Amino acid sequence: MHIQFAELPVTDQDRAKSFYTQHLGCQVVADAAMGPSGWRWVELALPGAQTHLHFIRRRDDANLDEPVLVFVDDDVEGKVRALKAAGVEIVTEPSEAPWQKGRIVAEFRDSEGNRMVLGSR
């Protein structure tokens, strides 16, 4: 058993799709109309992961204070440098996680204001 997708709140599906494909290497699995509202079923695959991301309509434009998702990467410092170079907001710089000795974590905001954690294995 595995989790099919994690729901990610967004206000602009095209902007979010561009962010995740450009900065995190996601591939579009589905992008299909969902009725007259103009909202689409957008589902993205992360490289090497079984769980996909699925965009849901965000209720408001306020930035979220708590992290929404935790991504794992073999090179947290390198990924943060790349995100910074692309103009992505870095919330916290890479440092050792206080809850797990030896694990490096950082936080960033996606195009929709969602706070994300990036951690080493």
Domain positions in the chain: 5-119
CATH class, 5-119 region = alpha beta
Q: pTM of the full predicted structure?
A: 0.90
**What angle (nearest 5°) sits at the alpha carbon of residue 112, between those of residues 16 and 10?**
70
Tokens at residue 40, please?
């689409």
pLDDT of residue 59: 83
Give CA 117 to chain center in angstroms: 9
User: Rounded to whole angstroms, what are the CA distances from 4 to 43, 50, 118?
Assistant: 10, 7, 21
What pLDDT does 16 receive?
98
Angle at 13 between CA 17 and CA 4, to 5 degrees: 70
Per-residue pLDDT, 66: 85
* Structural tokens at position 106: 């950082």
pLDDT at 61: 73
Output the six-digit token pair for 42: 């957008």
Helices (H), 1-121: 13-24, 76-85
Name residues of the chain where pLDDT drops below 50.
Answer: none
